[in-house]
Structure 1
Amino acid sequence: MAEHTPKSILIVVQRSNGDVFLSEPLIRGLFEAYGSPRIDLLINDDTLAIAHTLPHIGEIHTYSYRLRAEGKKGQTADLYRKLFRKYDLAISLTASDRSVLFALAAGRRAISAVEPDSAKSWWKRALLSDHYLFNTGRHILENNTAALELLGIDAGSLEVRAHHSASASSSVERMLADRGIGSFILFHPGAQYSYKVYPEELRIELLEKLDGLGVPIVVTGSKSAVDMEIKRSLPKLRNLHDFIGCTSIDELIALSACSMAYIGADTLNMHIATAQERQVFAIFGPTLPAMWSPWCNSLHRATGESMPLQTYGNITMFQADMECVPCGKAGCDDHHGKSDCLFRIEPETIYQEVASWLKKSR
């Protein structure tokens, strides 16, 4: 093994659950190329549960925006002291000033994504050992694995893998058996952010149509405020089984692995289902497909196209037929408000695609 081969690596991912989950191909690539080095993570504390499911990870450091908002000081300085020159290599997958500074402090060699605007990122380019441009026109997997090329590692044909524990599998098997559920479709209506959630009236209409297929529909979600509100609005239907708030992330991944298909929002659970090569029916609002569309492992690609209905590999994606779609905003007001485009995706369109697939798969 070459002398410059890093034996300790820190990966900084200070964004959402999906970003953390989709760092898996980078982690795997580094682990295999460098002969099982120690790989640690620095993440936001609200993504800790999904981080614990990633393979090959040693220590997980966390940063809390909640503590920062509460005015509690010292966590940044504490992290700098804890991380300083502890790693042979540090890679930041986000271009924020804080993430880049953590990578610079932690790694004897530091690589990071940077903003294309050199007026914002000139100092990062000057201080980092290597950098790559964070490109919103490129899929997040391709952004996340860009550091491999800088390190001379062949990323190969990209694919994502989801992992869960044996205990989670056993727990899920018991849950399904207790309810008499065999083959089922997983319906995940919630998201980390409410502007991605399919509207209640349309959601209920879709569930009523899906109930007529005669297949168990397992509805999943966390104990977040968004998901608990959805739970209260669920209709009472013969084939609907409410699992919202009943599973850990580990168990949710195991449950998804048992499913026939996924129907739901463009969120972490969609990426989990595509990694497991389930049949996926993804309801997209304002999100940019070029960056966040489901990654098809069998085709080794996602889609950069926007259209009301498209299918590639095992993935069917729905969007509104509106000139503004996709806008990439956090709701129409860009402040986590309502997304009008989600009100323009008809439940009948989704139902017909699911029914057609189910008929062919039987």
Structure 2
Amino acid sequence: MHSLLVIVTRQIGDVLLTTPLIHAARHRWPDAAIDVLGFEGTLEMLRGNPDVRELIATPPRLGFAGGLRLMRRLWRRYDLALVAEASDRAHLMGAVASRHRAGLVPPAGGSSGLKKRLLDHAVVVAGDLGEVHVVQEKLALLAPWQELAPPARLVAPPSQPLPAPLARQLAPGYVVVHTPSMWPYKQWPLEHFRTLLGLLAAAGRQVVLTGGPSAGDRAAIGAMQGAAPAPLLVDAGLLDFGQLAGLLRGAALYIGPDTSVSHLAAACEVPVLAIFGPTHPQRWAPWPALPREQVVHWQRRASVQSVGQVTLMQAELPCAPCGKAGCEDHRMSGTECLPAIRPERVAQEALRILAHSRHPRAGGDPEHARSA
């Protein structure tokens, strides 16, 4: 294979979770040109990725004319297309780009049968109640060309310098906390976050808040004002992914919900404390940084569980995780499981992790932070 196209037409977190597939393809074909096709605004996570030659960004809605232009651009340009999404559009682009294709397909129904017939190798997706992590699912696309299991390694963007005003505020041992979620059913209550920030500050830890430019993100960060004394509470402002990666790599701990930034923190190999509600961890837990010979296995339900440097917390409710979009199963739904994860529990686990961190507490010994 001299040229490959990886197709991942979903959100930012999904793009990052495709980097083990891209890296494994580079490992299998060291001299191949690997391009990635995805939606505009989602591929910046791959900017500077050494495994990728070109990023091909397309609008979520192409229209007839836009679709024709893209098909002309892709037509039989590649030796192999790896379709890392099960959507009709992703498979159409794969069929246009190469005669040889491996792709993810739904288990049954709709166009599943047609997709299977068009592929050299089909991987049936497990679905949100399955036990196969999406990283492993995507890696299975390479099975016909791999004698051994490929390395499962997330590749984060290279670090970029932080804005000088932010860099001057950072104290040793700071903790990065990401309070916003894109959808209500993934949102840990903001009052819980406020309590958590106060407990971390009381233990002598500086908290750095991250978020994007959207009104929802800015509101979630603004709601944290006054939760801790000013020197111990810093708004990182708007960072690109390279700067965010640099901020994460310098942190003693990252705390956040089921969001793309949590996956990025895991890729940066920083200790991660993830707060999960209805989302199934066996499918979507942040992927830890482990040696190749170690197996990543998450339990479906556990109050607290750790794999590598990633710790995941869930509610002690019999319905969690349900694998649905909240209790009402739509994106704007609320949940009962996330409020049930008390901030005192999260703070206790965070301080336990920090007690073993290589980063000292600002102005003191990390062991003191544990006792606090």
So what's the TM-score if we normalise by structure 2? 0.88
Structure-1 separation of matches of 2:309 and 2:58: 36
Structure-2 separation of matches of 1:95 and 1:158: 21
C-alpha change, 1:272 and 1:81, in structure 2 (3 Å) is same
Structure-2 separation of matches of 1:107 and 1:153: 23
Structure-2 separation of matches of 1:248 and 1:207: 24
C-alpha change, 1:302 and 1:47, in structure 2 (3 Å) is farther
For 2:116, give the aligned amino acid: R
Asked if the contact 2:162–2:247 (Cα under 8 Å) also holds between the matched residues in 1, the reply is no
How far apart are 1:291 and its partner, in Å? 0.5
Q: 1:125-169, CA deviations, whole angstroms, 9 ceiling, x for partnerless residues?
A: 11222211112321011011111212235334523232314xx1x
**Aligned match of 1:202:** 192
Asked if the contact 1:194–1:226 (Cα under 8 Å) also holds between the matched residues in 2, the reply is no
**Aligned match of 1:103:** 94
C-alpha change, 1:330 and 1:75, in structure 2 (3 Å) is farther
Question: Could you tell me the percent identity over the aligned residues?
Answer: 32
**Aligned match of 1:35:** 30
Give 1:343's match in structure 2, choosing from 339, 342, 346: 339
For 1:111, give the aligned amino acid: A
Asked if the contact 2:200–2:206 (Cα under 8 Å) also holds between the matched residues in 1, the reply is no
**Aligned match of 1:48:** 43
**Unaligned residue ranges in structure 2 (runs of 5+):** 358-365, 367-372
**Aligned match of 2:58:** 63
**Aligned match of 1:77:** 68
Asked if the contact 1:189–1:219 (Cα under 8 Å) also holds between the matched residues in 2, the reply is yes
SS in 2 for 1:99: helix
Q: 1:189-247, CA deviations, whole angstroms, 9 ceiling, x for partnerless residues?
A: 12333421211111111111111111111111111232111122112222111114x21
Structure-2 separation of matches of 1:304 and 1:117: 26
**Aligned match of 1:282:** 274
How far apart are 1:73 and its partner, in Å? 4.4
**Unaligned residue ranges in structure 1 (runs of 5+):** 1-5
Comparing 331-340 with 135-144, which one deviates more in the overlay?
331-340
Structure-1 separation of matches of 2:338 and 2:282: 18
How far apart are 1:250 and its partner, in Å? 1.3
How far apart are 1:108 and its partner, in Å? 2.2
SS in 2 for 1:36: coil
**Aligned match of 1:3:** none
Asked if the contact 1:196–1:284 (Cα under 8 Å) also holds between the matched residues in 2, the reply is yes
**Aligned match of 2:145:** 151
SS in 2 for 1:87: coil
Is 2:245 the partner of 1:249?
no
How far apart are 1:175 and its partner, in Å? 4.5
Is 2:347 the partner of 1:358?
no
Structure-2 separation of matches of 1:260 and 1:346: 22
How far apart are 1:80 and its partner, in Å? 1.3
For 2:142, give the aligned amino acid: L
**Aligned match of 1:184:** 174
RMSD: 1.9
How far apart are 1:87 and its partner, in Å? 0.8
Q: 1:95-116, CA deviations, whole angstroms, 9 ceiling, x for partnerless residues?
A: 1111111101101211111111
**Aligned match of 2:250:** 258
**Aligned match of 1:193:** 183
So what's the TM-score if we normalise by structure 1? 0.90
Is 2:205 the partner of 1:215?
yes
Give 2:220's match in structure 1, choosing from 227, 230, 233: 230
SS in 1 for 2:318: coil
Q: 1:321-357, CA deviations, whole angstroms, 9 ceiling, x for partnerless residues?
A: 2222112222222221222211111000001111222
Asked if the contact 1:293–1:302 (Cα under 8 Å) also holds between the matched residues in 2, the reply is no
Asked if the contact 2:181–2:257 (Cα under 8 Å) also holds between the matched residues in 1, the reply is yes
For 1:128, give the aligned amino acid: L
C-alpha change, 1:25 and 1:195, in structure 2 (3 Å) is same
Question: Per chain length, whose mean CA-contact separation is higher, i.e. which structure has more relative contact order (CA < 8 Å, sep 6+)?
Answer: 2
- The structure with more helix, counted as a fraction of residues: 1
Count of residue correspondences: 348
**Aligned match of 2:233:** 240
Structure-2 separation of matches of 1:194 and 1:290: 21
Is 2:310 the partner of 1:315?
yes
C-alpha change, 1:61 and 1:326, in structure 2 (3 Å) is same
C-alpha change, 1:204 and 1:211, in structure 2 (3 Å) is same
For 2:205, give the aligned amino acid: V
C-alpha change, 1:194 and 1:50, in structure 2 (3 Å) is farther
Comparing 30-39 with 191-200, which one deviates more in the overlay?
191-200
